[in-house]
Structure 1
Amino acid sequence: MRIGVVTFPGSLDDRDAQRAARIAGAEAVPLWHGDHDLQGVDAVVLPGGFSYGDYLRAGAIAARAAIMTEVVAAAGKGLPVLGICNGFQMLVEAHLLPGGLIRNAHQQFIRRDQVLRVENNGTAWTSGYEAGQEIVIPMKNADGNFIADDETLKRIEGEGLVAFRYAGGVNPNGSLADIAGLTNERGNVVGLMPHPEHAVEAGFGPDTDAAMKSGVDGLVMFRSVIERALQPA
């Protein structure tokens, strides 16, 4: 299993995503924003950061990078794609996921370990979770406020496209309907604002009741896509 991780100018968490892929048992393949070559990978991660300095809108310029032409085409054929934070912003700007992401409602950058509820475990990236399971994933963003018009929000809810919701009594950025992450209809594209790649190794993750920094809930996302790839066609 080969998971490609795209680096854009301003990416911050590309190395972390590569590390997460390796810990999960995959080969991490670095991809470059200016190329038109996905190098035959089995899945793609669009990492967090501030691509192109978040000029215009967060993720808007990156969504038009050369590599995204290939990502959009491959996603349309079923390639699993995970967008994390800035990567989620790219996915909505590229119209692979609905809605939009704007400045946090409180107008401040936020960093916290966030409780999420898994709403849809039928995707390539969430199949290892139980529906309704609560997990803890670190988050850090300034433009994580999910918005959509009434018709789009109704479609998202009606078609079960919410992958994750903020839980634990905290909506950290004002997102509509507590939406923390979405999936497309096919279930191969998932985007979320929190950072699963920062919860993949004990000693470096969120605090848990068992021990400080022992949380590894994010590792399940990377293992889920590996297990999906190993299933018979």
Structure 2
Amino acid sequence: MLFRSNLSVAAFAMALASCTPAPIDDPFDDTGELIALSGGDAGPQAACHTCHGLDGGGDGALVPRIASMDTGYLVRQLGFYADGQRSHPQMTWLAGRLNSEERLAVSAYYAAMDFPEGMEGSTTLTGPSCEIAKGYEIYHAGLPERALSSCASCHGETGLGSGGGNPPLIGQSAEYHAEQLRRWRNGERYGDALNVMHDAASKLQESEISPLAAYIAYGPEPSRRLGFPEECP
């Protein structure tokens, strides 16, 4: 009797198991799209699009463009936020709740996006000015008297950057560039190889940061460059 009872229990368990539905693969589970649009496990307050926009273009001020940025660069920045090498209340909180796979997924999602239309130069200028001319000189020639290499030597003559270590600069606002230069200079942002950006920003005077940021935001691509008055110093 006991033997038959055990057989009955085993048969019932097998039948029950056969009725249990197989797990369904959710196409949005742990994907970069899910994190970007809904925040994933971190909740809607962590959704990237609430600040960076659905197109990843930022807000045109202090929230940067992340669309079409290099995947490796974005992954590194999330890591820097998570471990304190970059500081921002919301980004530090968000990055700390993403594991390495999720950081890679959301970075790849934004890297695959097209460059937002109309963002080649984020600053509109009505005419040439001596102020932006100073930014032009620093970007393309540096300041040899202070042993400051040109920005173009790493970020390219057109501001398109190179790989994960030298990100593109175009498509960001002048306000964002100025803030980041000050953060590099003041030691509030770090993490680049050999502290190149800290050393470079430390050689800039405060009066030179705004012109340089404005020139970069305007876009150093040759077809967008303005002629500068001959009387510019």
TM-score (structure 2 length as normaliser)? 0.26
| Structure with bigger gyration radius | 2
Relative to its length, the structure with more strand (as a share) is 1
Relative to its length, the structure with more helix (as a share) is 2
TM-score (structure 1 length as normaliser)? 0.26
